[in-house]
Chains A and B, each alone.
Chain A
Amino acid sequence: MNTPPTASELALCLCHSCGLSCDMRAGPTECERCGAPLHRRKVSSLTRTWAYMLTALALYVPANLLPVMNTTMLGSGADSTIMSGVLEFWQHGAWDIALIIFIASIAVPGIKFVSLTLLLVTVQRNSLWARKERSKLFRFVELIGYWSMLDVIVVALVAALVKFQALGTIEPRLGILFFGLVVVFTMLAAMSFDPRLIWETPHNKETSDDVTSH
């Protein structure tokens, strides 16, 4: 082995909270220094990621089907869903705005679902395939996570600003709540995922299994 020994080989565990390398031979469950619980891997990472991602997926359906906001202009009200808004912008020639909304609101959550599923399945199969790329993919998922909140923020802003009584009023609808929850749960799923699992070899998989069962 040319590589330096891993932390588990040296029976060391890094405290998540204060960063102290704890000696695990004594079997401590808490950090000696700050008292935070010690885990070699994130607690039940795969289960939680799966659960959060499935939640997000379940919420993704009403988020896209239910209207996200209601625009009342001069007495005529119209509910609009995310997709109808995109189509409306597209039909009016504002394809750039349509593209932004589409990417931020529909494509990004979709990409997240696909990416997380890919990561989860490969980790569970102890795949050695493209581990570096998968790691990059995870970082990308984490990065784009909060950008999906764009829609929620726009609706919140517009609903707060456009209050012209009879002339025009914009009100949020139930869909935006679900959409926000989708974003929150995908972010939770990404947070629950432990990227170190990507790098676990079948050799040290067994130990990690112990950990993930926490």
Chain B
Amino acid sequence: MTSHPTDTPQAPGSPAIKTRRFSVSLVWIVPIVAVLVGISLVVHSILQQGPTITLNFKTGSGLTANKTEVKYRNVVIGQVTDVALSDDQKSVNATVQLAKQAESFTRADSQFWVVRPRIGAGGVSGIDTLLSGDYIGADIGQSETRAKQFKGLENPPPITYGEPGKRFTLHTQTLGSLDIGSPVYYRKIEVGQVVAYELDAEGKGVNVEVFVHAPNDAYVTENTRFWNASGIDLSVGANGFALKTESLSSMLVGGIAFRAPPYSPNDKPADEARTFELFDDQDSALAPPNGEGQYMALRFDQALRGLKVGAPVEFLGVEFGKVVSINLDFDAKKRSFPLNVGIVIYPQLLGQAHTKLLKVMNHDPNDEAAGVQLIGSFIENGLRAQARSGNLLTGQLYIALDFYPKADKVKFDPSLRPVSIPTIPGNLEQLQEKLENIVNKINQLPIERIAGNLDSNLVELRKGLTQFNAKTLPGVQNTLADVSKTLQSASSTLAEDSPQREQLTQTLDELGRMSRSLRELSDYLGRHPESLIRGRPDNAAPLDLQGPPRK
């Protein structure tokens, strides 16, 4: 064995014997353990691997392979492993590796959407993704079937599966400012939201789907009325201004409110998925039901500026219908352009007048011919339609149905549909007509002749005046000068220091004295009437009047 016999015993022999008890060195355990660990890792990862699904999104914004996570209730349940364009290059396919425990998210009706920050008037959502980046939100479905392909939603679903509550469908003419997520209010408390909307089958209306959370869904009863609570409802009435709004949020994003009318007997909670009408505002929602409408035609001969579709129709001052159409027509016979106005009236809005009338007339509301006959008798009694001015400032008109017993008789054609009601000109029109008549009469006056006569008269007048100026005026002047002289002399006669005045004063003094003497004489005669015969005795005179003795 060895080339150097002396070397062989030098090799330490005993350990060699010891190790040879094992055919394989113990050190091989180390790589075996390492391989086992590696295999266990592989097996573990295979066992942990959940299903792989593909989500189809319109855009790949926010989706990053191996980074974007799929979360359910903020727990990571998977990760996007690949983002690629779809085959038709119209959308983006995101491949998602779900975790093992998220296997149930492959139910066919599971929903997936990208959570990104959304800032709207209704609120802010997904604000955490501003920093962390977008992630895919998931909602578990209930279907029994499984799927591999899912269509990603553009917006997060407002309601998660299994949320207690009820869905209702509201039918309306226009969506208005409503949107998915718009709140639903009951007595100004938010109890639900709009979850979907779509045009109805004919495209003539919108079906809005709302979800009302439990337990408040019990307040949606069969009589409940829904109305659009969007925006501000500002109304001006006899009581002043009234401002109605549900909340600041509903002013911005719109909202729906509902309530049952105050008197709703035998009301019970509505069934799921029941369809309701969505009214435009609270007043029309809670108003008594219109009942069945009746269409009627009116024919006006005069222009109706200010009459609009939707203008009210009143019967004796009670609003019970509206204008639905205004069409210009041409009358071949009269060569004029009359206006055809279509109206719809709701007799039920007349309230007890309607019901009592029906009772008295023994009339069945469903009997159309009888109804027309009834209207015919009304017209016989002078029922006429008139366009009246509702607002003098804006010139808006409304249609008034009223009785005018003095109106001209009109023949009623009961076979015509819609029923035609004769019209009379409106108040303003009547006034206008009268004014027109006056103007016509004025027009007919022989103004030119009158003016000619007046003109010649004036010429003569001027001639007369010239004559007057030339001849009469100088004479008048002379007369006036004479008068002035006369007055001057009179004035000098009456002056303070004139002799005439002096004489007058003396004469008056004399007269005074004379009258005193006469009074004395009469007094004396009164006391001594005998003196007329005998003459005056000496002592007869009063002392004061006694003159010196004559003897």
Contact = CB atoms under 8 A, between A and B. Distances in A.
A binds B: yes
Contacts of A213: 16, 19-20
Contact of A47 (B12, B16, B27): B27
A76 B3 CA distance: 72
15 contacts: A8-B10, A11-B6, A11-B10, A47-B28, A52-B27, A55-B34, A59-B37, A66-B41, A74-B131, A78-B67, A203-B3, A206-B2, A207-B2, A214-B12, A214-B19
A85 interface: no
B16 A9 contact: no
A159 interface: no
A207 B27 contact: no
A169 B430 CA distance: 89
Contacts of B2: 206-207
B9 interface: yes
Contacts, number: 95
Interface in B1-44: 1-4, 6-7, 9-16, 19-20, 25, 27-28, 30-31, 33-35, 37-38, 41
Interface size class of A (residues with CB under 8 A): 35 or more
What DSSP secondary structure best describes chain B's contact surface?
A: helix
A74 B131 CA distance: 6
A74 B132 contact: yes
B530 interface: no
A47 B25 contact: yes
Interface in A67-92: 74-76, 78
Interface in A25-59: 25, 27-29, 37-40, 43-44, 47-48, 51-52, 54-56, 58-59
Most chain A CB within a 10 A radius of its CB, from B7, B12, B35: B12
B68 to A, nearest CB: 9
Interface string B484-497: 00000000000000
Contacts of B414: none
Interface of B: 1-4, 6-7, 9-16, 19-20, 25, 27-28, 30-31, 33-35, 37-38, 41, 66-67, 128, 131-133
B132 A75 contact: yes
B20 A29 contact: no
Nearest to A30: B12
A213 B19 CA distance: 8
Contacts of B9: 25, 27
Interface of A: 8-9, 11, 13, 24-25, 27-29, 37-40, 43-44, 47-48, 51-52, 54-56, 58-59, 61-62, 66, 74-76, 78, 181, 185, 203, 206-207, 210-211, 213-214
A62 B1 CA distance: 46
A58 B12 CA distance: 34
Contact of B131 (A38, A55, A75, A214): A75
Contacts of A66: 41
B28 A51 contact: yes
B10 A27 contact: yes
Given A8-B7, A27-B10, 9 more contacts: A9-B7, A25-B10, A54-B34, A55-B31, A55-B34, A181-B34, A185-B30, A211-B11, A213-B16
A27 B16 CA distance: 13
